[in-house]
């Protein structure tokens, strides 16, 4: 009887782990003024069920160990009152929410390289980051946010300050009952040491897939094979599903070569974006160990966003929008 019970319990939890509905979401750009229903209706039209709300903070130019947030000059949707209003409006419109506070790059500086030589600067940065995160944890707790992302692409910070991250996760768990993830960069998600303390393995999925200007679907799928195998291995080892906390491509030639690059001289190519997304959905998204993900990025003012000539990540009013709609409909 005991062996049978254990076996049935294993089957139950295995089925639970690998049969849940995908998280089909978009990373929503912060609003300049209040978020309203008409901003969210186009997101429903692509069958997304989740929105990620991303309040950025900046690194203080006069003291790089301090973070600046909730300032009067920021967009309404990046201030605390605006974030709360966005969460409330998203919930009223039927969306689940991931709250993803994020440190913004400054002057070309990649946040994954943030480092300090002096211990006192690390302490200042830790205090500042903790205050920033807990300001939004309070909102997440009070507004019943389903999922909270504790950091994005902070590789050096994670490596250098393990005690801080262990305590941060522990302290968040004490006050917040929702699920937790961390958004690791595509090239270091295997190095993040705290996946077992979180609910999802978060990956910002800007993997380089093909160097070709216009690769075929077969070539793109081939490029994904070793990456998918590695993600599957990590998922199995950690016994956690992988969540694509960010995924997407610019509508440019060679969109799958270095998807993280923000160059200004790129050539518009919406077919390239659409093909890269199709390959991701068919090669990656379909796998049971993938929990789903959040498309980067979606602007609240849909009629004037994206379109012909726009080389940004958004799929709005481009061929890529139909690709996302098709796959999110399943």
Residue 145 lies in a domain: yes
How large is the average pLDDT for residues 223-247? Answer: 98
User: Using 50, 70 and 90 to split pLDDT, how confident is the model at 263?
Assistant: confident
Q: What is the per-residue pLDDT for 264?
A: 86
Residue 5 lies in a domain: no
Q: What is the per-residue pLDDT for 7?
A: 41
How many Å apart are CA 214 and CA 195, to the nearest integer?
36
CATH assignment of the domain containing 36:
3.20.20.80
What would the pLDDT profile of 44-54 be if each residue is shown by its tens digit? 999 999 999 99
Count of structural domains, the chain:
1
Residue 6 lies in a domain: no
Give the domain range for residue 211: 22-328
Residue 220 lies in a domain: yes
How many Å apart are CA 132 and CA 28, to the nearest integer?
20
Q: What is the per-residue pLDDT for 63?
A: 77
Torsion, Cα of 140, 15, 170, 172 (10° steps): 0
What is the pTM assigned to this prediction?
0.93
What would the pLDDT profile of 55-65 be if each residue is shown by its tens digit? 999 998 767 89
What would the pLDDT profile of 116-143 be if each residue is shown by its tens digit? 999 999 999 999 999 999 999 999 999 9
Q: What is the per-residue pLDDT for 60?
A: 84
Residue 102 lies in a domain: yes
Of 96, 92, 129, residue with least CA distance to 28: 96
Q: Is the pLDDT of residue 92 over 50?
A: yes
Q: What is the per-residue pLDDT for 42?
A: 98
Q: Is the pLDDT of residue 102 over 50?
A: yes
Q: What is the per-residue pLDDT for 62?
A: 67
Q: Is the pLDDT of residue 319 over 50?
A: yes
Residue 13 lies in a domain: no
Residue 8 lies in a domain: no
How many Å apart are CA 207 and CA 49, to the nearest integer?
25
What would the pLDDT profile of 142-169 be if each residue is shown by its tens digit? 999 999 999 999 999 999 999 999 999 9
Q: What is the per-residue pLDDT for 18?
A: 45
Residue 9 lies in a domain: no
Are 260 and 206 in contact by the 8 Å Cβ rule? The answer is yes
């Amino acid at each position: 009887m005991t062996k049978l019970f254990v076996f049935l319990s294993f089957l139950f939890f295995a089925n639970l782990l690998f049969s849940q509905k995908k998280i089909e979401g978009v990373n929503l750009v912060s609003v300049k003024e209040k978020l309203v229903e008409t901003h969210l209706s186009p997101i429903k039209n692509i069958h997304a069920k989740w929105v990620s709300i991303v309040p950025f903070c900046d690194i203080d130019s006069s003291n790089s160990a301090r973070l600046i947030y909730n300032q009067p000059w920021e967009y309404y949707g990046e201030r605390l009152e605006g974030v709360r209003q966005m969460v409330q409006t998203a919930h009223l419109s039927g969306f689940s929410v991931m709250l993803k506070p994020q440190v913004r790059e400054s002057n070309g500086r990649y946040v994954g390289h943030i480092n300090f030589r002096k211990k006192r600067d690390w302490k200042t940065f830790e205090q500042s980051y903790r205050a920033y995160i807990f300001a939004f944890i309070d909102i997440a707790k009070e507004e019943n946010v389903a999922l909270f992302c504790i950091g994005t692409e902070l590789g050096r910070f994670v490596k250098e300050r393990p005690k801080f991250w262990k305590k941060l996760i522990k302290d968040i768990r004490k006050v917040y009952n929702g699920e937790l993830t961390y958004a690791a960069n595509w090239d270091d998600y295997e190095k993040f040491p705290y996946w077992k303390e979180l609910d999802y393995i978060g990956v910002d999925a800007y993997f380089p897939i093909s160097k070709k200007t216009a690769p075929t679907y077969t070539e793109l799928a081939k490029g994904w094979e070793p990456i998918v195998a590695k993600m599957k291995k990590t998922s199995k080892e950690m016994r956690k599903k992988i969540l694509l906390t960010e995924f997407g491509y610019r509508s440019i030639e060679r969109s799958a070569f270095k998807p993280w690059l923000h160059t200004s001289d790129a050539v518009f190519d919406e077919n390239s974006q659409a093909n890269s997304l199709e390959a991701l959905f068919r090669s990656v998204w379909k796998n049971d160990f993938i929990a789903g993900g959040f498309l980067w990025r979606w602007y609240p003012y849909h009629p004037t966003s994206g379109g012909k000539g726009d080389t940004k990540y958004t799929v709005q009013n481009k061929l890529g929008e139909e690709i996302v709609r098709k796959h999110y409909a399943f």
